[in-house]
Amino acid sequence: MGNLPGITMKLTFFAGLRPFSRGGVMRDAIAGLTLASMNIPQVLGYTRIAGTPTITGLYTVLLPLVMFAIFGSSRHLVVAADSATAAIFSSGLSGMAPQASVKYMALVGMVALLTAVLLLLARIFKLGFLADFLSRTVLVGFLTGVGFQISIAMLGEMAGIPVYAHKTIEQLQQFIEGLQQINLPTLGISSLVVTSILGFRHYLPRLPVPLFAVLTGIGVSYVYDFAGHGIATIGPVAGGLPAFSFPAVSWNELLKLVPVALSCFVIIIAQSAATSRIFAVRHHERVEEDADILGLSAANAAAALSGAFVVNGSPTQTAMADLAGARSQVAQLIFAGTVLLVLLFFTGPLQYLPRSVLAGIVFTIAVGLVDIRSLRDIRRESPGEFNLAIVTAVVVALVGLEQGILLAIALSLLRHVHHSYRPHTAVMLPDEAGRWMPVPTKPGLETEPGLVVYRFGADLFYANDNRFADEVRALIAYAPAPVRWFVVDSGAMTDIDYSAARSLLDLCEDLQSRNIKLVFGRVNAYLRADMDRHGITSAIGEKFIFSTLHDALSLAGADLRKVNKA
């Protein structure tokens, strides 16, 4: 348990493995081997995005996997290298040190460590709810932009054209200018890899085509000496266990890395939470988000200290694990054990692997990030949200990932504020059968002579209080018959702030001067407490505030019947 005032942190271990069963362990062991065959080529490819040595991709699926299995709760989430976070920190560090250099790796390690600290703070202060502030719409747009950015970055390596720029527009410009330098054998290899992976992905998704591409590329390169014939290979790869060290950076460099780590933190929180929820619901399981955040923190701390880079709960790799039959973190531990064997005994042949093969694998990963189906669904169901997704994608692809993250958060919050600022409002009107039905508010509507029943679909606060007051006044002013009773269905209201209370008090005074009774129905305890505190209850009169709409309408109806009889 933590000892900070008001803060508790209960630790549970290996929640993603329990309960054990012999049959389950065997199933997950086979799934772990399948997962390793499918994902090892991908984590090698992620290093092309991250700008780190090839071996670091294997490091991301060694200790980080183990640490999440110990501290996390999700039985399905695969925590490893991820294209989105790799693109974020490589973009942020591109101007601070040459990629793959000692200084660059120190910066990369510190980003992972800062991300681990932010995740730990999020766990301690239970900030997992922050994931909900990045809407799925803009997350789709963000990942689409990342997909375009990565795919453009890979074009030069796929065609054998030297591209040195870091900005997407500049990379595309250099690629176009260098088209006359295309290396046809390199282009042929990458094209074959891309078409094979995309083709088999549709018809045989469980077939580890990237692994076949890597093994074939290594074998053919060795036999025909690709490096000697102008086809670039990744060169010697240092094997063995990772060396543990603390990333050494200066204080000024540390301050520059904080925004990069914050961007990684936001994506990890949002993407990991969404992924673990999806698979927990699919398998009728519960997931403890706070425990997963702690597991992600431990995984990133392990990555920072073992020469790797930021890791994330990867949607693509988690989907692969599920497809392979994994039902617990046992599969991820088998995956890590397989990687350990590769590090100890099989890194030598990697030196013959053509760079174009890895570039082709990464290109297919980038294509997978462009979620056409979701974009099409968003466009059909909510054109406004589709525009937000497209704007986010364009900013990410053309301006930068960190700017895209900030825009994504801002757009998500603005959309929420917009809904609260302009909530759905309605007037209850009788239909042909005499039943009252909600109709969108417009001047001239009246529930029945002398009565307006008005529904406001949000809390009252400083940004929408004038809208509320203006609609009430307009409904009264243009009503076909003089209004005696104005009933507010406040079922959607839970809060009134100071500014809204002042506007409401002014409205009460105005209506009372015109002998119009203002009544509130369906007032819950939270709203009633605010009305009492701001003096609204005393201004309206306690007898005009009801916990049900039925009681409010009974009072108004009784008075109107009495007036009609008179």
Whether 329 and 428 share a structural domain: no
Answer yes or no: is 252 within a domain.
Answer: no
Helix (H), strand (E), coil (C) string for 391-434: HHHHHHHHCCHHHHHHHHHHHHHHHHHHHHHCCCEEEEEECCCC
Answer yes or no: is 342 within a domain.
Answer: yes
- Sorted by sequence, the CB contacts under 8 Å of residue 318 that are 6+ apart come out as 76, 77, 78, 275, 279
Is the pTM higher than 0.95? The answer reads no
Among the three residues 416, 437, 462, which one is the final residue of a domain in this structure? Answer: 416
Using the predicted structure, report yes or no on whether residue 176 has a pLDDT greater than 80.
yes
Using the predicted structure, report yes or no on whether residue 470 has a pLDDT greater than 90.
yes
Q: How confident is the model at residue 238 (pLDDT cuts 50, 70, 90)?
A: confident
| Domain total in the chain | 2
Among the three residues 363, 392, 416, which one is the final residue of a domain in this structure? Answer: 416
Q: Which of 65, 73, 76, 62 is nearest to 14 (CA)?
A: 73
Residue 81: exposure state from Cβ atoms within 10 A (0-12, 13-18, ≥19): buried
Answer yes or no: is 251 within a domain.
Answer: no
Contact 398, 391 (CB under 8 A): no
Whether 43 and 154 share a structural domain: yes
- Sorted by sequence, the CB contacts under 8 Å of residue 538 that are 6+ apart come out as none
Whether 435 and 412 share a structural domain: no
Using the predicted structure, report yes or no on whether residue 134 has a pLDDT greater than 90.
no
Q: How confident is the model at residue 131 (pLDDT cuts 50, 70, 90)?
A: low
Whether 207 and 173 share a structural domain: yes
Bond preceding residue 185 cis, omega within 30 of 0? no
Contact 359, 41 (CB under 8 A): no
Whether 326 and 463 share a structural domain: no
- Residue 203 structure tokens: 């018809």
Reported as half-sphere exposure (CB side, CA atoms, 13 A), residue 360 has a value of: 27
Whether 391 and 444 share a structural domain: no
Answer yes or no: is 94 within a domain.
Answer: yes
Place of tokens 């039959």: 325
Whether 63 and 84 share a structural domain: yes
Instruction: Please give the C-alpha separations between residue 328 and each of 33, 37, 66, 87, 298, in angstroms, as whole numbers.
Output: 14, 18, 13, 29, 19
Answer yes or no: is 236 within a domain.
Answer: yes
Whether 478 and 384 share a structural domain: no
Contact 29, 331 (CB under 8 A): yes
Answer yes or no: is 292 within a domain.
Answer: yes
Q: How confident is the model at residue 1 (pLDDT cuts 50, 70, 90)?
A: very low
Q: How confident is the model at residue 11 (pLDDT cuts 50, 70, 90)?
A: low
Whether 97 and 45 share a structural domain: yes
Write out pLDDT tens, residues 55-110. 999 999 999 999 999 999 899 999 999 888 999 999 889 889 999 999 999 999 99
Answer yes or no: is 12 within a domain.
Answer: no
Whether 380 and 525 share a structural domain: no
What's 540's domain CATH number?
Answer: 3.30.750.24
Whole-number Å distance between alpha carbons of 37 and 48: 19
User: Tell me, what amino acid is at 244?
Assistant: F
Write out pLDDT tens, residues 498-521. 999 999 999 999 999 999 999 999
Write out pLDDT tens, residues 222-235. 999 999 999 999 88
Whether 178 and 122 share a structural domain: yes
Among the three residues 388, 416, 444, which one is the final residue of a domain in this structure? Answer: 416
Whether 304 and 189 share a structural domain: yes
Question: What residue numbers bound the domain in which 468 lies?
Answer: 422-565
